[in-house]
Structure 1
Amino acid sequence: MKIIVTGSLGNISKPLAEELIHNGHSVTVISSKPERQKEIEALGAAAAIGTMEDIDFLTETFKGADIVYAMEALNAGSFFDHSLDFIAATTQIGRNYKKAFERSGVKKIVHLSSIGAHMSNGNGILESHYRVEQILSELPADVSIKFMRPVGFYYNMFAFIPMIEEQRAIIQNYSGNEKEPWVSPLDIAAVIAEEIEKPFHGREIRYIASDEASPDEVAAVLGKAIGNTDLKWQAIPDQQMLDNLTKAGMNPDTAKGFVEMNAARRGGILYEDYNQHKPVLGKVKLEDFATEFAKVYHQ
């Protein structure tokens, strides 16, 4: 099959492209960076250089594709861009995709959504995923869409490193011994590759997770990996968390979205739909990630 992969050679898109090529598919990888072209072609894929903001580019690239894997991605550092409305910008990419799908005639889509996409509000920055799912669901009934909803990414924990170094603790506006799901990009790529091979039927939703661990367990596992067995996960009030993020330079509205998203983790509000549709857990466990975390921590 001819498959279009968005997301350049990111943490999900690169292993996904490699798997699809290995399975014998003709793969085109979209990237906004011309310097990525040689690396994309070295994988055995074709490169399409353009942006998610360019509807004409997307339309031409999608034409003739059997399946499109679509994800919304903003530039690194977008959380700290004070001129950017993160949710609005991400939602606009969803609208661009919808127009490009309509114009190109694509009938099968795998869309990277997120945990929290079942919530129209109260989910902070994850609201953009709810909005995009709603936008894509407006496509005609003969367009089949698989909404992939991964949970919190392991690699988001790399953001804990500065606070561990400075304050000897993981500090967030939630904590405790209530388990929550985490996921590796490798497991996300594996699930998407699996779904691409399966039949498409209307609108489908699949959650993706690798492991489940409470904040206390995360602190214990990461602490052991870095040689700090006293590492603790501590909770602070929402306002203090917001102040910390804005002082660090984050866009105030984006910071509010982060705080609200974390607040929804308390009591499992964010995970209510996930818990009703739990997936089989993937291969990459927290202990596996902890080894990678320790290498980065000690660099």
Structure 2
Amino acid sequence: MKKITITGSLGNIGSNLTKILVAQGHNVTVVTSNADRTADIEALGANAAVGSVSDVAFLSKAFVGADAVFAMTPPNLGGTNIIQNTVNAGKAFAEAFVQAGVNKVVMLSSVGADYDNGTGPILGLHHIEAIYRELQNVDVTFLRAGYFYTNFFNDIPLVKHAQIMGGNYSSEANLPLVHPKDIAVAAAEELNTAVTGKNVRYIVSDVQQPKNYAKVLGSAVGISNLPWVQFTDEQALEGMQQAGLPQEMAALYTEMGQGINSHKLTDDFEKQGSPVTGTIKIADFAAEFAAKY
């Protein structure tokens, strides 16, 4: 049995990871910023640590005695200064690892984190990877995940009202995709594996072109041959803002689309042989999309 602390509360990854680790007999602590999640965490057989991931003192206390930590910075730390806020959270994690004496970390990162520009919100993860690489006597696995299937839920209004899917990247781009459950499985494996140094592992469930996954998801909701429309950068930016996304975040997602077109997001993944180790394919996820629809 190990003592493992995981961050990310009970989100799509955290809830599944907690269940796996508890079932394996580990002593699990789940970090959450929401005290209302305490009962849900305890119902899964884990302990709750309530506080801010930007608070070094709190994180250090949550990490003390842990044999391993799953480090996941929040995906949207405010509507402004998003990259810097993300990096600052990573710095807080790193300082807490040192103060608490943590020597094994599994970090949730992303495809494209190898680039220092042109990747939108992924840039924050690039900087955090760099910070963690400088940690002495801390073994780190950078779990670089594909584009979450669950992000497709955001496309439901567009599908309903315009009967299209779209973005500012080509319908023929090869996009690595991942299901959060597959991330949880991979994270559990890495938390239980003795590896030394700093290592990268890609976790991808499927690689699909937008024109293909649009058809699969469209068919699941009764729309045959749902088309993928490539928007201009300006159209994508305006559309996301009209949907309620803050301007800064919309601009970052627009840049990420540009990164998909330029292959920055997939460059290193493809150099590593495009490894697909997840088991949940886009056709499997289509049932979840239809249920949400």
Q: For the Cα contact (< 8 Å) 2:206–2:276, is it kept in 1?
A: no
1:1-299 equivalences under 5 Å are 1-73=2-74, 81=79, 84-140=80-136, 142-277=137-272, 278-297=274-293
Deviations 1:23-71 (A, max 9, x none): 1111111111111111111111111111102111111111111101110
Q: With the length of structure 2 as denominator, give the TM-score of the two structures.
A: 0.96
Q: Distance in 1 between matches of 2:16 and 2:156?
A: 26
Q: Which amino acid aligns with 2:53?
A: M
Q: Distance in 1 between matches of 2:291 and 2:112?
A: 31
Percent sequence identity over aligned pairs: 40
Q: For the Cα contact (< 8 Å) 1:206–1:279, is it kept in 2?
A: no
Q: Which amino acid aligns with 1:287?
A: A
How much has 1:115 moved relative to structure 2?
1.1
Q: Distance in 2 between matches of 1:50 and 1:181?
A: 33
How much has 1:267 moved relative to structure 2?
4.7
SS in 1 for 2:74: coil
Q: For the Cα contact (< 8 Å) 2:110–2:125, is it kept in 1?
A: yes
How much has 1:138 moved relative to structure 2?
1.7
Q: Which amino acid aligns with 1:193?
A: A
How much has 1:155 moved relative to structure 2?
0.5
Q: For the Cα contact (< 8 Å) 2:111–2:266, is it kept in 1?
A: yes
Q: With the length of structure 1 as denominator, give the TM-score of the two structures.
A: 0.94
Q: For the Cα contact (< 8 Å) 1:144–1:202, is it kept in 2?
A: yes
Q: Distance in 2 between matches of 1:177 and 1:113?
A: 25
How much has 1:177 moved relative to structure 2?
2.6
Q: Which amino acid aligns with 1:136?
A: Y
Q: Distance in 2 between matches of 1:105 and 1:215?
A: 44
Segment drifting more, 245-254 vs 205-214 = 245-254
SS in 2 for 1:124: coil
Which runs of 5 or more residues in structure 1 are unaligned?
Answer: none
How much has 1:279 moved relative to structure 2?
2.3
Q: Which amino acid aligns with 1:210?
A: S
**Equivalent pairs, count:** 291
Deviations 1:168-211 (A, max 9, x none): 11121113233321100000000111111211210000010001
Q: What is the RMSD of the two structures over their aligned residues, measured on CA atoms? A: 1.4
Q: Distance in 2 between matches of 1:280 and 1:239?
A: 33
Q: Distance in 2 between matches of 1:43 and 1:2?
A: 15
List, as ranges, runs of 4+ consecutive aligned residues in structure 1 with deviation greater than 6 Å.
none
Q: Distance in 1 between matches of 2:45 and 2:52?
A: 21
